[in-house]
Structure 1
């Protein structure tokens, strides 16, 4: 394919070329390959949107192009990983030219290296031996491009929200000026305005540098006008080539809409149907389980100043909310507004700065009125929490063991495990290492591990992150059925379609501009 012609400034980097011939990869401990028989050419400066259902190997391909696939792949797995065919960047092995590509992973938490914002952005460029007098202009430019220029350069990275860390990871890549930019779900944890900000930041970088782009994103509409070509992958069954179809965005979307929706691709204007309640059919209020009264929240701990105990500065305050049986509560608002911090406080995992979170007798069942003071066993079977980063919940080396861990420690039956595996499309992964799953599979597993303990209240942070349209519909349907059965569901989300599918009420937190994030 000839190199695309973009109206751009002269190249400030050398754009990379990608060539794959019969390339495949099987993760350690997995019976089937993640990618099989991939034939693909990407011209220097071309912009490609990589689509496909959850588990189709999109993240695997990006890690391979970055030269980091296999670094941790064999940890905890039975046997070794297996590579077939060839995958080249500029005619050479990706592992032999690390730094040629800049990879933004699905979980930005894994890419935060240093404790201060500016240092973290500069880290990649410093490791590429960029002259010092060139690094700091790049840092300032990258922070402005991703919408973080309002933060002090010494702002602690630990105080950033998940969405802000996503922007920070992108800034670090832009400051490196790589010839190949690899983005894995770059807007998944961002508020709607942030999605457009990040996309536009990428566009500006491409226009300035002429770099080659490969972006993985489930929702097509955000990127289709920025890319030259769509490539759709299918799961690596070993029976058919990896590429299902490819071509210019408008042609692919027009000619293959039915095929794409069947494959779980979020084509523009498509929202899959779900089972269970609809928003307009949500029943009346159930019994009160949890109440937040004039709540102030922070992830920081109180500190001592002499003999005085100084409370942390709250990220959000004055929150009042109720959680009722059989009802959904959607917590929305911009990145950095304290949504995740509020959810963790509501779930009894963080102590309130002020105000209170109180449980009624219907939920506490003798454990006391304050969830933060409950023992771990009491909390797990009453309030189950799905963290924003799925890896933070994994404690074993096998998918099945993850699902059995909670019920066994609580002395519960294990009869629900098979249902969860089937409903959340994890049955074929029972023997896999959780850390080798795709981002969407990790998210479904993290939800399943909490559901296995049958809590009365379910608190989910970005539950639809990384889901194709089919797995999104299954998850939304399952949660709707739990609501119908009397479970309360609290979800921190930017997903308007998900909020509509579950119904209930919305708690919108305002941007926390006057207080520390």
Structure 2
């Protein structure tokens, strides 16, 4: 029986996973992402996979989903990795993967069609497909989001990053795979959305009995749902002190046992154990009125463009209206609110990358320095040297094939010195990756690189969209401390985030955006 037919006949049954001495080296990398991994997961088991940023967690999930490598790939694989005794690449539909970046998983232009796509490719009968689509959308909360719900023909391009995460999960649930693989499934979600997605996964597992492997830095979200915690060794070096001695695995056991017996070891490895917040640098600069750099006045924002209908121009529909905020030197502005409230859209408008629908964004003389009052009208080199933006999807910023070249790109084109590059590599823990292709990095490493490339251009204002996404506790603390230093040095930091601990470190003011403001109510920044 062909492998794909075998996978189809196995649909609905929980899958078994077996790794024996398995390892993987990405093309262009000198060292393996995972090496010597021995791991057995029984059908129906629920496993939380932990480890520091760059330990190979995402690599393992991609391998289990059968999407690593190819005949012409320069990557190297060692050992064996099997699902139900066969290689993952030949088992179409047996595993469903939700990736760190949900943007990469959106396939079709309409909500319902996108959720149905996987099931259609598995030849599920039409009437069963649409039953599953409705159930999956209900389970992840997209049918009842913000009390209004999203129709099946809602454009996927109009979804926020957090909504796209829910969409990706719905597509996986509709496939009913025997192995569900989730890579940071709640990283960009608001607190209510985190619980909603976790509970949706729980309902699916209870219905189907599927095997689960979930990667998530924050243990408390998933601890009570899983049977087992597996911690990968940093760099997959076997036999670290205190570990199990199993190649590639640092710890393996029931959640409460692992957390109780090895709390200190897990904290040292950067794992977000419940109740733990790593120490960060304390700000030394007093929170006091400072130089105004950037201001938004009665701002309405949208990612839509004006459309022509006959002789009429149809203006974009704002996702937010009446926003007033100020960005001051050496102070932080934190943008919070539920998914879909327009946080990223507002941040991109404030950063001069989107035109306002109404109202205005004005740069003060201290920031514009002769470039004009409107950041949206600035040339590219004028913008990046004044306002540096870190996008929600790090890959959207990469323009070269090497980490070091990525960091050098901005300074070279602006005629700046490159003296800050070595500091950024060291502080953001990227030194060992200087020759790596940015697209082969882990999600957390990509995020730190995207922050570093912006900082290398020495902007006066930083606009960061979910800057702590994918970070273990150690890299989180380093990033938060570094940004705290920049604030004390006079740089302004604007952050879109659901990370309350991060907001507390930076201090400053909070601007909370609520979907109800689409009716035109005013949104103003206030003290955090």
* TM-score normalized by the length of structure 1: 0.95
1:288 matched to 2:292? The reply is yes
1:147 matched to 2:146? The reply is no
Question: In the superposition, relative to structure 1, how do residues 507 and 72 fare at CA in structure 2: closer, same or farther (>3 Å)?
Answer: farther
1:365 matched to 2:376? The reply is no
Deviations 1:27-51 (A, max 9, x none): 1111111011111000000000000
Structure 2 distance, partners of 1:108, 1:239, is: 32
Could you tell me how far 1:258 is from its partner in structure 2?
A: 0.1
Structure 1 distance, partners of 2:70, 2:323, is: 44
Residue of structure 2 equivalent to 1:246: 252
Could you tell me how far 1:236 is from its partner in structure 2?
A: 2.6
Question: In the superposition, relative to structure 1, how do residues 34 and 331 fare at CA in structure 2: closer, same or farther (>3 Å)?
Answer: same
Unaligned runs of 5+ in 2: 1-9, 144-148, 240-246, 521-528
Within 5 A, what are the aligned runs for 1:10-159?
13-71=12-70, 74=73, 80-149=74-143, 150-159=149-158
Structure 2 distance, partners of 1:495, 1:110, is: 23
Structure 1 distance, partners of 2:249, 2:371, is: 54
Within 5 A, what are the aligned runs for 1:405-444?
405-444=409-448
Could you tell me how far 1:514 is from its partner in structure 2?
A: 5.0
Could you tell me how far 1:242 is from its partner in structure 2?
A: 1.1
Is 1:315–1:512's contact at 8 Å kept on the other side of the alignment?
Answer: no
Within 5 A, what are the aligned runs for 1:177-196?
177-196=176-195
Could you tell me how far 1:432 is from its partner in structure 2?
A: 0.2
Residue of structure 2 equivalent to 1:259: 265
Residue of structure 1 aligned with 2:492, choices 488, 492, 496: 488
Deviations 1:271-310 (A, max 9, x none): 00111418xx743121000000000000001112223322
Could you tell me how far 1:239 is from its partner in structure 2?
A: 5.5
Within 5 A, what are the aligned runs for 1:373-412?
373-412=377-416
* TM-score normalized by the length of structure 2: 0.93
Residue of structure 1 equivalent to 2:211: 212
Is 1:386–1:460's contact at 8 Å kept on the other side of the alignment?
Answer: yes
Structure 1 distance, partners of 2:477, 2:216, is: 17
Q: Please, what is the CA RMSD of the aligned residues?
A: 1.5
Is 1:314–1:515's contact at 8 Å kept on the other side of the alignment?
Answer: no
Structure 1 distance, partners of 2:320, 2:72, is: 39
Is 2:401–2:437's contact at 8 Å kept on the other side of the alignment?
Answer: yes
Could you tell me how far 1:73 is from its partner in structure 2?
A: 9.6
Deviations 1:398-419 (A, max 9, x none): 0000000000000000010000
Structure 2 distance, partners of 1:161, 1:101, is: 26
Deviations 1:413-465 (A, max 9, x none): 00100000000000000000000000000000000000000000000000000
Structure 2 distance, partners of 1:508, 1:71, is: 45
Partner-residue secondary structure (3-state), 1:345: helix
1:462 matched to 2:461? The reply is no
Unaligned runs of 5+ in 1: 1-10, 75-79
Structure 1 distance, partners of 2:64, 2:72, is: 15
Structure 1 distance, partners of 2:71, 2:452, is: 24
Structure 1 distance, partners of 2:375, 2:282, is: 30
Could you tell me how far 1:94 is from its partner in structure 2?
A: 0.3
Question: In the superposition, relative to structure 1, how do residues 199 and 515 fare at CA in structure 2: closer, same or farther (>3 Å)?
Answer: farther
Is 2:321–2:518's contact at 8 Å kept on the other side of the alignment?
Answer: no
1:167 matched to 2:166? The reply is yes
Structure 1 distance, partners of 2:200, 2:314, is: 39
Structure 1 distance, partners of 2:513, 2:51, is: 33
Runs of 4+ displaced beyond 6 Å: none
Residue of structure 1 equivalent to 2:524: none
Structure 2 distance, partners of 1:300, 1:398, is: 34
Structure 2 distance, partners of 1:482, 1:159, is: 34
Partner-residue secondary structure (3-state), 1:126: helix
